[in-house]
Structures are given as structure tokens and as C-alpha cells.
Amino acid sequence: MPAAAPSAQASEADEAALRHLQQVHGPVLLSFLTRLTRGDVRRAEDIVQETLQRAWRDPEARNVDGRWSRASIFTIAKRILIDQVPATEARPSEVSYEYIEVPAHIGSDPIERALDAAEVRAALAALPERLRITLVEIYFQERSVAEVAEVLDVPPGTVKSRTSYALRALREALAGRELRNSGTAGGTRPPA
């Protein structure tokens, strides 16, 4: 009988520690994961439970004083989330540039619109990939800066600067194309 007492004390201590882990880190972790899962609370709750179980079993998740490190817990959670994302979701969707349409209010002549669309597609295709993908995500996929940052796994500030650089480069490329086209036979295009 004396051997049962230490194990009962150990299990009570374990339960108290686990309860402490859940109470201290659970709510913050749930909020963080709910944002990462785009509001999917059930999925976030599942990841929280898995994260806390792994943290409980992982001695490296604890600080020197025996408490759990929030940074370690969040790292575990991110790894679980990444493991759940299929490879097709992790990569941004590709857009075929021949299907990018120019709004009808830009030029009434269908031939002019087709030529303009072809020029925009060519100028867009000439951009460096990181700039092109950013423009496609922002303007053609109609995603917010935060969504694009998450898709491309870059900070929101990087998305903003890439968008600015891409628009400037696109503007310059289109201006260069217009100058080259204005010298061709058949007349010049009116300014936009």
C-alpha cells in the first residue's frame, strides 16, 4: 500500500500541471490558431488539444524552471498546422494569363481591347515571379494584403512593397510598349 501513495500524488500533480497548461496557454493558442485557420474554430480546437498533448510529452517544451515555454508551444502548434495543410493548398494557385480580361469600359473597340489585354498579359508575364504573383493575388484573385501575406508566407509589409514595385514596373513596361507600338504602321493609339 505505501507504493500507491506516491503514484497518486504524482498523478494529482500531473493533472494540476496539465490543467495549468490548458488554462494559461490554451486560450491564447486557440485565438492564434483560429486566425491561422481562417476562423475554423473546430479545427483550431483540435490543433490546440494535439499541441498541448505534444507539449506535455516533450521535455524540451519546458523552461529551466519546469514551466512550458509559450514559444515552444506555438512552434509545436505551427508544425501541426503545417502538417495538416495539403501541398496543393500551400502553393498559390496559378493563373493562366490568356484568361485575364480587361473591363469593358476600357476601349469600346473589341480589337483594341484584345490588343490592350495582350499587352497587359505580356507586360505582366515579363515581371519577376515574386512581383507577378503578388499582383495576381491582389488584383485578379481579389485577396487582401493579409491573405496574400499568409498565402505567400511573407510579412504584410513585403506584400505592400512588392505590389508597389510591381505596379511601377508594369506601368513602365506598358509605357515602353506604347512607345514602340506608336511607331508602327497603322497609326498611333490615343492616350488612355
Shared domain for 104 and 75, answered yes or no, is no
CATH number of the structural domain spanning residue 131: 1.10.10.10
Residue 9 belongs to a domain? yes
Shared domain for 71 and 133, answered yes or no, is no
Shared domain for 84 and 153, answered yes or no, is no
SS (H, E, C) 94-137: CCCHHHCCCCCCCCCCHHHHHHHHHHHHHHHHHCCHHHHHHHHH
Shared domain for 129 and 60, answered yes or no, is no
Look at residues 59, 90, 121 and tell me which one is the last residue of a structural domain. 90
**Cell numbers representing residue 101 in the block:** 480580361
Contact by Cβ (8 Å): 127, 173 = yes
Phi and psi at residue 4, to the nearest 5°: -75, -30
Query: How many residues comprise the chain?
Result: 192
pLDDT by position in tens, the chain (length 192): 444 455 556 577 667 777 877 888 888 888 888 888 888 889 889 999 888 888 877 777 676 666 777 888 888 888 888 887 665 455 555 555 555 555 555 556 677 767 777 788 888 888 888 998 998 888 888 888 888 998 888 998 999 999 999 888 888 888 876 655 554 444 444 444
Shared domain for 9 and 67, answered yes or no, is yes
- DSSP string over 60-78: GGB-TTSPBPHHHHHHHHH
Shared domain for 17 and 37, answered yes or no, is yes
Tell me the residue range of the domain where 159 lies: 97-182
Say whether pTM exceeds 0.85. no
Shared domain for 86 and 104, answered yes or no, is no
Contact by Cβ (8 Å): 34, 41 = yes
